[in-house]
Amino acid sequence: MKRTIIAGNWKMNKTVAETKALIKEIAPLVAGAKCEVVVCVPFTDLDIARKALRGTDIKLGAQNVHWAPKGAFTGEISAEMLKELKVEYVIIGHSERRQYFGETDETVNKRAKAALEYSLKPIICVGETLAEREAGKTAEVVIRQINGAFAGIEKLSLKRIVVAYEPVWAIGTGKTATPQDANETIAVIRKALRKLYGKTASRALRIQYGGSMNPKNATELMAMPEIDGGLIGGASLKAEDFAKVVNY
């Protein structure tokens, strides 16, 4: 049985002091959760988060990683730097990075490989825009993103990767994909992975849904057979809401 995984994506929110306080609030509310719980905090909060998470089962995640081991890449952070801070998961290819920071399928692939090299666990994000959905291109887009992200990644690494299906039009908008729609697109993603890695490996890989997931819709979404977890933005910033999603 795979264990479901709920990860909070804090994006560019929370100072060091706020991070410490929020983790203190979250920890008792999610203790003993049936799913794996992750918080992906800003780079500047990783160290305090690492300390605040000691003695809990909550895993630490970052929100990006550069592909080079070191060098002249102003503003970037390497996998080794994350590893030093005991980071376990790292979000790669979030739609906000694709939209505002020129992230492409190729750079997603390079980042994922660098993360794997340092034993980090990538959470690879894919998802279509509203225009792509309306043009009937959802399947085509997610298949292209999956093929791009996984190029040259060997089957052995698959067990350390999580995929997040996040329709761009559902992120931070309050609009959620219906559980059936999310399930259907995740099935398309799994089929693409099956073509690359075979049935057993693609079945074992966890695929999250993300996009305005909250305490009200989490149970319904998590009941879908293809959905193995959630990537939670807005609702991860309030301890009670995040805990309700975790305890779906």
Least distance to ligand PEP, CB of residue 55, Å: 27
As a whole number of angstroms, the distance between CA 144 and CA 138 comes to 10
| Residue number with CB closer to ligand PEP (121 or 197) | 121
Q: What is the dihedral of CA 79, 193, 187, 233, to 10 degrees?
A: 10
Stretch touching ligand PEP by CB under 6 A, among 21-29, 154-162, 181-189, 209-217: 209-217
Least distance to ligand PEP, CB of residue 211, Å: 5
| Residue number with CB closer to ligand PEP (67 or 169) | 169
Least distance to ligand PEP, CB of residue 140, Å: 22
Stretch touching ligand PEP by CB under 6 A, among 109-117, 134-142, 192-200, 207-215: 207-215
101 belongs to the binding site for ligand PEP (CB under 6 A): no
211 belongs to the binding site for ligand PEP (CB under 6 A): yes
Sequence-ordered list of residues with C-beta below 8 angstroms from that of 68, at least 6 positions apart, any chain? 76, 78, 114
Q: Binders of ligand PEP among 52-71, rule CB under 6 A?
A: none
Sequence-ordered list of residues with C-beta below 8 angstroms from that of 200, at least 6 positions apart, any chain? none
Q: Binders of ligand PEP among 117-176, rule CB under 6 A?
A: 166, 171-172
**Residue 131 tokens, joined:** 């225009």
Hey, CA dihedral for 98, 11, 146, 88, is it positive or negative?
positive
Number of shown-chain residues binding ligand PEP (CB under 6 A): 13
| Residue number with CB closer to ligand PEP (103 or 197) | 103
233 belongs to the binding site for ligand PEP (CB under 6 A): yes
Least distance to ligand PEP, CB of residue 235, Å: 6
| Residue number with CB closer to ligand PEP (231 or 246) | 231
Q: According to CB under 6 A, which one of 61, 179, 229, 234 is a site residue for ligand PEP?
A: 234
Residue 240 annotated among the catalytic residues of the structure: no
| Residue 236 near residue 207 (C-beta atoms within 8 A) | no
Catalytic residue, candidates 36, 66, 94, 128: 94
- Beta bridge pairs of residue 9: 40
**Residue 232 tokens, joined:** 């939670």
Q: According to CB under 6 A, which one of 78, 183, 212, 217 is a site residue for ligand PEP?
A: 212
Residue 66 annotated among the catalytic residues of the structure: no
SS3 content of the chain, % helix, strand, coil (to 5): 50, 15, 40
Residue 216 is classified by DSSP as: T
Angstrom CA distances, 63 to 96, 214, 248, stand at 11, 20, 24
Strands (E), 70-120: 89-92
Nearest CA-CA partner of 204 in 214, 192, 194: 194
**Residues of this chain that bind ligand PEP (CB under 6 A):** 9, 166, 171-172, 210-213, 231-235
Cite the active site residues.
94, 166
